[in-house]
Amino acid sequence: MAKKPQRTTTSPARLAAQAEQAARHAEEPTYIDMLDQAEPLGAAQAALAARANETARNAQHEDSDETLAKNEIDNRYSRNAAANRYVNSKQKERRRSGMFTKVLAGLLIVAALAGIGAFGYAQWINSRLTEGVDSSVNDVLVETNLTQEPFYMLLLGTDESIDRNENMSTDGIYRTDTIILARIDPIEKQVTLVSMQRDTQVDLPGYGKQKLNAAYTFGGPELAISTVSELAGVGISHFVLIDMNGLQDVVDALGGIEVNVPMEIWDDDAGGYLPAGVQTLGGWEALILCRARNAYSDYGNGDVYRAANQRLVIQAIANKLLASDVGTIANTVGALSGAVQTDLQVNDIVGLAQAFQGMDTENNIWTGSMPTESFFEDELWFERIIEPDWSQMMQRVDSGLPPTEDSSIDFLTGTVLANAGSAGKSGQSGEDLAAKTGTIAVRNGSGVDGLAATVQKRLEAQGYTVSDIGDADSFNYNQTVVVYEDPDRAEEAADIVAVLGEGHVEKNDLEYIMSEDFLVVIGKDYANNSDE
């Protein structure tokens, strides 16, 4: 097993790029700056401002300098030429809901004080959301009622960013490294997120065998949508594309998101370091979690772990947005307009948010990944869809069920690979996990660096409490052993062996010094199998 990676520091080049980006952002005028530079309000503008303030008070919106600052909209992202392929927004029925009125009030204050008509301001937001959209995408989108029936949405995350646009590090070619098929059910208040492997081999018309993420590169959103639709066997009604920096803006507009980071991340390529555990992530930290792939190289396919973390961040954003006040929602809509390209408009987004008010985000956001297997062809690694499993998964999803029957947590990293809501974790119900009692001490008797911490994560992922880890008295243990003292706990010790997949059970006959209920001494058998 490879040793735990040493902590690295952000490269000088990355630090310089971040500093340049921060300076560029700091130079941009905020809405408060715009107000300071605006001409004095005329009578009509003053009346509009007064009506906006009255509307805001009725909506319990606090009219203050702090709220105005929260409602700043970031306009720092230029549009790449690829955006010109996007679809013209379809005409949809407008829902003048209570929430829309409240959010509009927040936006109206800024518009009024800046001397902008409220209608013109909303149109400006919409034009940013749909800027560059090409009507040809309408041919591959399926018409559905946004708030009255389930529908599918394609979420695309591109490696395009303002930094890469400026330094041309990708020669103007961008691929969608994040591809998530989402089933949105506003009636049952359920969301299903299925990650699709970017390296999945597909046959693109006119381009032959390619990786799935090349569909956007060659044919824009319309080819990406039609390709995913054919793979999944479902019609897609809407799409959202966000670049890497755009995600950062959305999280910052929400004031951060609470995430349980499954493991400590050292990944300079992803942007730096993240500690493990429950914490509030700002935009940059969320970006690190969504980008991290190399940090998982010792555990398996980094793309799988990265996709799981991206779904985790999306769930955290939904949690925060649905629980936010009116000012925060208005601010987020503004941030979205500068970071996202979509066929949706302001009242579509707000209507969806209203439809999902009161959603049980812990149990009704389900996640999973397209089942694939790796293969090597023409000097490239691809992923091949495991057809029977994929067909079964999509049948479940289309029927309104979680992608998998049970939740699944990776033993080694604690990463949630599939979330089936109340179905439990790793095939166990919440009651089974809570039933684990007693404390465990883990000792590394194999000599492989970091193995005690790895076993700790594996046991804790199954609901056990590990109170102490360290090295054993020697590194000459060939077999893993689970030691217990209380005769009534022999069966529980055997369960621990089953979780580890290696070892045997021993009753302590004073050979071992232990203060916990169980002692796990890791042997070379576990270390050898962990390397496979």
* Structure tokens that stand for 387 in this block: 């057809």
Q: Cα dihedral sign for 307, 308, 311, 316?
A: negative
Each residue of 104-122: pLDDT tens digit?
455 554 444 444 455 566 6
Highest mean pLDDT among 154-168, 222-236, 261-275: 222-236
The pLDDT mean for the chain works out to 75
User: Which pLDDT does position 230 carry in this prediction?
Assistant: 96
Among the residue ranges 144-148, 245-249, 337-341, 432-436, the one predicted with the least confidence is 432-436
Is 433 strand, coil or helix? helix
- Whether residue 475 is predicted with pLDDT greater than 90 in this model: the reply is yes
User: Which pLDDT does position 93 carry in this prediction?
Assistant: 36
Distance (Å) of CA 29 to CA 116, 464, 471: 16, 52, 57
Torsion of CA 16, 17, 20, 21, to 10 degrees: -150
Mean pLDDT of 217-245: 92
Among the residue ranges 133-142, 365-374, 390-399, the one predicted with the least confidence is 133-142
Angle at 202 (CA atoms; ends 201, 203), nearest 5 degrees: 135
- Tokens 């804790």, located at residue: 460
User: Which pLDDT does position 21 carry in this prediction?
Assistant: 46
* Structure tokens that stand for 204 in this block: 């693109």
Which CATH homologous superfamily contains domain 12-398?
LCP protein (3.40.630.190)
Going by C-alpha positions, the residue among 390, 379, 393, 426 that lies closest to residue 407 is 426
140 near 226, Cβ under 8 Å? yes
- Whether residue 288 is predicted with pLDDT greater than 70 in this model: the reply is yes
- Whether residue 358 is predicted with pLDDT greater than 90 in this model: the reply is no
Going by C-alpha positions, the residue among 393, 392, 417 that lies closest to residue 407 is 417
274 near 285, Cβ under 8 Å? yes
154 near 182, Cβ under 8 Å? yes
- Predicted confidence band of residue 348 (pLDDT cuts 50, 70, 90): confident
The model scores a pTM over 0.75: no
User: Which pLDDT does position 259 carry in this prediction?
Assistant: 92
Domain spans, the chain: 12-398, 434-530
Whole-angstrom Cα distance, residue 144 to residue 18? 42
60 near 106, Cβ under 8 Å? no
User: Which pLDDT does position 174 carry in this prediction?
Assistant: 65
271 near 287, Cβ under 8 Å? yes
Each residue of 24-54: pLDDT tens digit?
444 443 333 333 333 333 443 444 344 444 4
Diameter of the chain measured on Cα atoms: 91
Phi, psi angles (nearest 5°) of residue 140: -110, -5
Is 506 strand, coil or helix? strand
- Tokens 């049952």, located at residue: 188
HEC profile of 106-173: HHHHHHHHCCCCHHHHHHHHHHHHCCCCCHHHHHCCCCCCCCCCCEEEEEEEECCCHHHHHHCCCCCC
User: Which pLDDT does position 49 carry in this prediction?
Assistant: 40
Is 222 strand, coil or helix? helix
Angle at 54 (CA atoms; ends 318, 34), nearest 5 degrees: 70
Mean pLDDT of 57-86: 36
- Whether residue 132 is predicted with pLDDT greater than 80 in this model: the reply is no
Highest mean pLDDT among 111-115, 210-214, 511-515: 210-214
Each residue of 478-495: pLDDT tens digit?
889 999 988 888 888 888
Q: Which residues contact 489 (CB under 8 A, 6 or more apart)?
A: 438, 517, 518
User: Which pLDDT does position 148 carry in this prediction?
Assistant: 92
Strand 481-484 versus strand 518-522 pairing type = antiparallel
Distance (Å) of CA 154 to CA 209, 224, 236, 400, 498: 22, 9, 7, 17, 40
- Tokens 């940059």, located at residue: 284
5 or 324, higher pLDDT: 324
User: Which pLDDT does position 310 carry in this prediction?
Assistant: 92
Per CATH, the architecture of 434-530 is what?
Answer: 2-Layer Sandwich (3.30)
Other CB atoms within a 10 A radius of the CB of residue 4 amount to: 14
Q: What share of the chain in percent tops pLDDT 90?
A: 35
114 near 30, Cβ under 8 Å? no
- Whether residue 350 is predicted with pLDDT greater than 90 in this model: the reply is no
